[in-house]
Amino acid sequence: MTEKKINTLLFDFDGTLIDTNELIIQSFLAVLDKHYPGRFNREDALHFIGPSLKQTFESIDPSRVEELIAEYRVFNRAMHDELVEEYDGVVETLRLLKAQGLKMAIVSTKISQTILHGLALMDVADVFDVIVGLDHVTNPKPHPEPLQLALTQLSSSPEEALMIGDNSHDIEGGKNAGVRTAGVAWAAKGEDYLASFKPDYMLKHISDLLTLTKEAVK
């Protein structure tokens, strides 16, 4: 049986389309150093990249989850524009993919307001047909719910979709939703870490997506 052509792209946001890694690390350390001085370092914070804030702070202190999330978001918003950076070629590639008629969505464990702020900063808010944030679902990735919601809103089937991300929950979420998956070699945790979750593809550069989708736009 021939695989369907990829015409639908589901993107994680942080660490995939925009380099928020330093922002995330500093946001965690600002909060954790205040409440648990000396307990966490940058290496620890690196492992918090990916899961939802609720999942991370529940693992640290279940009794203070909402308080810690609120403090994290205040710092994160204040420092956002100063600490984020663009990855090479992302904006140009996204615009080319859009121009070729591909269906595109953001599927993130971040709240939609913060996603929209980042997209506006990159000037690509108009590229995406659908945005699924943490506030749109009951179960974040790796649960299939966010991907299924995006596919429904895009009128796409799992067989024609590709989930692109920089973390384990992106790859596992894609597999759980029955879509093909692509890791990104620029992931903060490293290409080898991501490859261990066996994505269908590994993007060396964002422009690799132009090759992966060319059959669908012929």
Contact 14, 49 (CB under 8 A): yes
Active site residues: 12
The strand pair at 8-11 and 161-165 is best described as parallel
Collect contacts of 108-111 with beta carbons under 8 A, ≥24 apart: 108/12, 108/13, 108/14, 108/132, 108/133, 108/134, 108/146, 109/50, 109/51, 109/52, 109/134, 109/140, 109/141, 109/169, 110/13, 110/14, 110/134, 111/135
Taking CA atoms, 62 is separated from 24, 54, 58, 66, 121, in Å, by 20, 9, 4, 9, 34
